[in-house]
């Protein structure tokens, strides 16, 4: 019984006081929109995923702050993370904002960078990497 109690105490200390490494450190601002889930993977890295699909999220190196350049064919392969919360462009949720795309739809941006999913992504593949100018979103 003492071993179980000690184990639980140690686990709670590690969760509430991360080591400070980039992999295990909790994001400073945890507030996020309802279209997004914040979770910790098996390796201890924090990540944002779309909700409820839990698809990995990406940002494009080609985008300018607050403006998506991924339209038509690009958006077929890299679907934008659309806002389903009927927020006006410019509204904030933590470090997330809503931007208006060229087609008039509302898309989430993280720290000003428009956010996307990848059509052919394997949701639980741990090897997320930069692809076609897109890189995994890091909290």
3-state secondary structure of 134: strand
Q: How distant, in Å, are the alpha carbons of 21, 25, 121, 127, 132 from that of 136?
A: 18, 17, 11, 10, 12
* Angle at 69 (CA atoms; ends 64, 73), nearest 5 degrees: 160
The total number of residues shown for the chain amounts to 139
Q: Kindly report, residue by residue over 18-42, the tens digit of the pLDDT.
A: 333 345 677 777 899 999 999 888 8
92 vs 87: which has the higher pLDDT:
92
**pTM for the whole structure:** 0.77
Instruction: Report whether pLDDT(8) > 80.
Output: no
């Amino acid at each position: 019984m003492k071993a179980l109690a000690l184990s639980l105490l140690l686990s709670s200390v590690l969760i509430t006081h991360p080591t400070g490494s980039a992999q295990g450190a909790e994001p400073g601002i945890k507030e996020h929109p309802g279209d997004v889930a914040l979770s910790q993977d098996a390796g201890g890295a924090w990540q944002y995923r779309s909700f409820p699909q839990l698809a990995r999220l990406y940002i494009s190196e080609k985008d300018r702050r607050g403006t998506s350049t991924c339209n038509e064919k690009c958006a077929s392969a890299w679907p934008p993370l659309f806002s389903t919360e009927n927020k006006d462009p410019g509204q904030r949720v933590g470090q997330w904002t809503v931007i208006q795309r060229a087609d008039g739809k509302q898309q989430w941006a993280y720290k000003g960078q428009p956010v996307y999913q990848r059509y052919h992504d394997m949701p639980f593949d741990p090897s997320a990497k930069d692809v076609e100018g897109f890189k995994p979103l890091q909290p």
